[in-house]
Structure 1
Amino acid sequence: MSDRPKAPYPTAPIAWMSQAYDTASSTPASPINRHEQYQASKPAISPSMTSMNPSTTMNSFESFDRPESPTLPPEQGMPCTEMELPTLASNSMPNSPKRYDFVDTSMPPAPPPPNMPFQPATLNRLRQDVPPLPAVPNIPPYDINNNSTNNTNAIKNNPSQSHHRHHHHHHHKSSKRPVHMSDHMAASIELSISPNVAPAPAAGMYWSRALTYGRCPSRPLRAHSSNLIGEYLYVFGGCDMKTCFNTLYILDMDTLTWSKPRTFGQLPPPCRAHSCTTVERDLGAGKNSYSLYMFGGGDGPNYFNDLYVLNIDTLTWTKPKTEGEAPSPRRAHTTCIWNQKIIIVGGGDGARALADVHMLDVSDPTLPKWSLLHPEGTPPIARGYHTSNLVKDKLIVYGGSDGHECFGDVYVLDLASNRWYQIDLDRAVPRLAHSATQVGSYIFVVGGHDGSRYSSEVLLLNLVTMSWETRKIYGGALNPRGYHTSVLHDSRLYILGGYDGRNVFDDVYILELSACAYLPQITNFEIDV
């Protein structure tokens, strides 16, 4: 094993699984706070090589060409190389410069902004290179010549002010100065004054596509995992049309800047449709530590039941020893954390769908313990590609597929009483490979497959009345898709990646919810089962 490199994050070109990896990296001799080094090294916003367990074979990680569920239509995409992979999003900024001229004829120059309070350098490294967008009204630029004509007419109507107005107009016309902006600023301003983008009303939700920076994932992703810790989104694994990955990317949600950190330790194998659960531990004195527990997943015909843990502070992967009987290999399952226990529901092993419920006790990080639950009541039919949301002590399981049928039912597992309940809904809405995010007393269901086609619909499950609701959403909606991820941050839903049967996406969409603050007002409620 080679010594740990002195530089925490070298700036060598990166490559995905199908190309090259730095196989010389190894586990550090002593644990250090790699996360703090990573934060302190972010001014360059440069990519770095990904460490890899030398024992992992990187020859080929090709997956099946068909979607994971037989209820989905056959894959329509043809064999594609890296350059031929269809995508509806671009990973880089346009190279063509843009030039906009702004002339202010009605107000003096804006005063300089007040001094901002000091912020830690670790939070400002990525943000200092992102210039603020100029304030531009939501109206098209006016014509200077037309404005001059109007002033001339005014002079004729009031001769006593002709000399003053002529001088005033001449002064502004001669002080015209062009403003040069970067491509992303020009694109944002062009969008804000475009007549084709309708403004959202005061009480409406709004779709928009996010403009990201930095080193984004080099290939589109589906069936990946996304975990939000603070203001950082940790994206791991997934696949494109054929190849699975085991790469970690981090998206700064405040600046929408991607980075690819270097990780250490025993890396998980490339996989998709795995689960990744955030576990928080109280260290005392107001300090917390975070870890990501990754379980299962698959790559082509291979299915896994291994457990890997990523320490967020050191960015080090470990494969801990466990006690008890582990679940069978699977993917397309769901996990939720409850009282320092990870609850695993369903999934599939390639031959059949699964309906079992397992629990991993992580209260002792040195020795996680597996156990099989035997809930009472009527359990849901075996399924995978469903969603699970934990509301207090109740786990809400919705949708999914057994490979033959797409489900639209909702079950509740009361973890306190260890009992299943089926919920009677006003209507059944079949979905699989969708995303479900709790926002107050609602669960926002985005996209997915309904058994016949992919959808871009946004459905709201009211947890108080246990009924489906819809809202009118403005802006440009995202493309129909499934196998994406969604997270809630700062009153916005962020949708990342996905697949529509032909294309794998590398875009990030935002559903603005702040104007609909009335939706999550109910926070103290009970689910009636």
Structure 2
Amino acid sequence: MGKKGKKEKKGRGAEKAAAKMEKKVSKLLNASLFTHPEKDQLILFGGEYFNGQKTFLYNELYVYNIRKDSWTKVEIPNPPPRRCAHQAVVVPQGGGQLWIFGGEFASPDGEQFYHYKDLWVLHLATKTWEQVRSPGGPSGQSGHRMVAWKRQLILFGGFHESTRDYIYYNDVYAFNLDTFTWSKLSPSGTGPTPRSGCRMTVTPQGSSSIYGGYSKQSVRKDVGRGTQHSDMFLLKAEKGREGKWSWTRINPSGAKPTPRSGFSVAVAPKHQVLLFGGVCEEEEEESLEGDLLNDLHFYGPVRNRWFTEQLKGTQEPLEVVREVVSEDGTVVTIKQVLAAQGMAGQLESDDDDSPEEAGVAPGEPSPRSNATLTVKHGRLYLYGGMFEAGDRQVTLSDLYCLDLHKMEEWTEWLEETDSDEDSEEAEGAGGGGEEAKEDSGEEGGEEHPSVAPGELFTDCLPRTEQHWLRCAQDDIEPGAPERRVLRAAQALAQAFYDGSA
């Protein structure tokens, strides 16, 4: 009887694991993350995943329930084709509508790609997709930016690339949400140069603010040179002159971000604009080098000023969860308990001379580009993006949250902590006999071996290697090559040693 019960329990565990995998969120960059206008939900759509050899595009829709702290994959018939680098805007009418324009598709080998010029709306109340066909809109493009302004969608910039050449745009289009018609705007004044990947937000005064972006120019055949822009403009609708718009260049004060591309943007309470991460690139004709960033900047449109804020740290011992990337690109997680004083000290020491010299404080998101960012109820949510491990590009699937009112610490969501089903299963198991003890194994939260004072890593690793091998095996899919597990274990050991030293 005991053995049969054990097999049944393992069967239930396998079913639960399969259910988790079915709704597990993909590793993504260049996706869109936005908040539901009426519910405590975040909605994630599209994006791409690069595994080091091939690129995969998605059109899945995931919903994160903030109160339940859980992800759910939502199946809705007839979605838009798979894409990334599109734009998505939510408007409140009709119980909430998600509008999506453009983006790009690429074949797994990256040899073929296509830029979309289609417009879609997801009716959140009825959970139905609709393609809106309207002539006179922008050409096929990706990397553009779009905001909701009154009863219109305002679209700026973007780029289009073919096998022969590439082109960047600085056109402005408006889509009327009442008449479902496109119109091309012709603002007066000097506006931004053509670019993609800029920041576009609506100010309290009703203007659209454009900051930064990226563009590339050909210097000779098959050789281009990129530019990371750091200028800022306002696009204003002129009072009393319907359909008339104007550009104005502005020069904010304060602690400005370093020029970068691939940064993420969200609008916080009181209309403050948040800018996170990105990559600061130094480009030569034959090479490209860059430093990924994880800094957070604020822009106040009322005072036209950039500023930063220091995280205060927590007053209680903190369980830190970090993603560790081994040499072969395997991403594993490590948990570590830090005293509040040590945490605050590491946060304060992050204010160094340059991003490459400043370490990542425990619990902070790793440096990344092309992540998604949104704000709900005064909390900033960050998902995914691209991280570099040596020469490898690693696509991430982590979700972080920062309370913008407290400004204490980043917290990370992990699938393993969403344990309502685990608790029910534990209560149902009962008995507490020898088999229950055997099955519980290491689930009870085995403590990591401590690092002795003055102990070198070369001495610590042999002493603790078996522990880290068990941790790596728990975090990597079954059947992974032994060499991969070993590298992941060594990366975990190194990360824990560095955090304890």
TM-score (norm 2): 0.52
From 319, 332, 349, the equivalent of 2:215 is 349
Report the alpha carbon displacement of residue 450 of structure 1 after superposing the two structures with TM.
2.7
Report the alpha carbon displacement of residue 447 of structure 1 after superposing the two structures with TM.
1.1
**Which structure 2 residues correspond to residues 242-253 of structure 1 after superposition, within 5 A?**
242-253=113-124
Whole-Å separation in 1 of the counterparts to 2:376 and 2:137:
33
From 405, 409, 415, the equivalent of 2:291 is 405
Q: 1:262 maps to which residue? A: 133
Query: Is 2:160 the counterpart of 1:294?
Result: no
SS in 2 for 1:268: coil
Is the Cα contact below 8 Å between 1:461 and 1:469 reproduced in 2? yes
From 304, 307, 325, the equivalent of 1:418 is 304
Q: Which amino acid aligns with 1:352?
A: T
Q: 1:331 maps to which residue? A: 196
Is the Cα contact below 8 Å between 2:57 and 2:84 reproduced in 1? no
Whole-Å separation in 1 of the counterparts to 2:271 and 2:300:
6
Q: Which amino acid aligns with 2:266?
A: N
1:165-216 deviation digits (Å, cap 9, x = unpaired) = xxxxxxxxxxxxxxxxxxxxxxxxxxxxxxxxxxx99964111111102x32
**Which structure 2 residues correspond to residues 55-134 of structure 1 after superposition, within 5 A?**
76-77=53-54
Query: Is 2:184 the counterpart of 1:319?
Result: yes
Is the Cα contact below 8 Å between 1:205 and 1:474 reproduced in 2? no
Is the Cα contact below 8 Å between 2:385 and 2:397 reproduced in 1? yes
Report the alpha carbon displacement of residue 410 of structure 1 after superposing the two structures with TM.
1.2
Report the alpha carbon displacement of residue 76 of structure 1 after superposing the two structures with TM.
2.6
Q: 2:74 maps to which residue? A: 210
From 433, 436, 440, the equivalent of 2:377 is 440
Q: How many residues align?
A: 280
SS in 1 for 2:253: coil
Give the 3 Å change call, closer, same or farther, for CA 260–204 of structure 1 in structure 2: closer
Identify the range of structure 1 (363-372 vs 340-349) with the bigger mean alpha-carbon deviation.
363-372
SS in 2 for 1:417: coil
Is the Cα contact below 8 Å between 2:267 and 2:374 reproduced in 1? no
Give the 3 Å change call, closer, same or farther, for CA 363–210 of structure 1 in structure 2: farther
Query: Is 2:400 the counterpart of 1:455?
Result: no
Report the alpha carbon displacement of residue 223 of structure 1 after superposing the two structures with TM.
0.4
Q: Which amino acid aligns with 1:299?
A: H
Q: Which amino acid aligns with 2:131?
A: K
Is the Cα contact below 8 Å between 1:342 and 1:362 reproduced in 2? no
Structure having the larger proportion of residues in strand: 2
Report the alpha carbon displacement of residue 439 of structure 1 after superposing the two structures with TM.
0.9
Whole-Å separation in 2 of the counterparts to 1:201 and 1:431:
25
Report the alpha carbon displacement of residue 255 of structure 1 after superposing the two structures with TM.
2.4
Report the alpha carbon displacement of residue 467 of structure 1 after superposing the two structures with TM.
3.6
**Which structure 2 residues correspond to residues 124-163 of structure 1 after superposition, within 5 A?**
none
Structure having the larger proportion of residues in helix: 2
SS in 2 for 1:450: strand
Q: 1:279 maps to which residue? A: 149
Counting aligned pairs with the same residue, the percent is 22
Whole-Å separation in 1 of the counterparts to 2:200 and 2:180:
22
Q: Which amino acid aligns with 2:74?
A: A
Whole-Å separation in 1 of the counterparts to 2:156 and 2:66:
43
Whole-Å separation in 2 of the counterparts to 1:384 and 1:202:
30
TM-score (norm 1): 0.49
Q: 1:49 maps to which residue? A: none
From 241, 259, 266, the equivalent of 1:389 is 266
User: Structure 2: any 5+ residue segments left out of the alignment?
Assistant: 1-47, 107-112, 217-225, 282-289, 312-346, 348-360, 419-501
User: Structure 1: any 5+ residue segments left out of the alignment?
Assistant: 1-66, 79-85, 92-199, 281-289, 478-529
Give the 3 Å change call, closer, same or farther, for CA 203–254 of structure 1 in structure 2: closer
Query: Is 2:375 the counterpart of 1:375?
Result: no
SS in 2 for 1:396: strand
Whole-Å separation in 2 of the counterparts to 1:476 and 1:274:
37
Which has the larger Rg? 1
1:85-125 deviation digits (Å, cap 9, x = unpaired) = x556789xxxxxxxxxxxxxxxxxxxxxxxxxxxxxxxxxx
Whole-Å separation in 2 of the counterparts to 1:201 and 1:324:
45
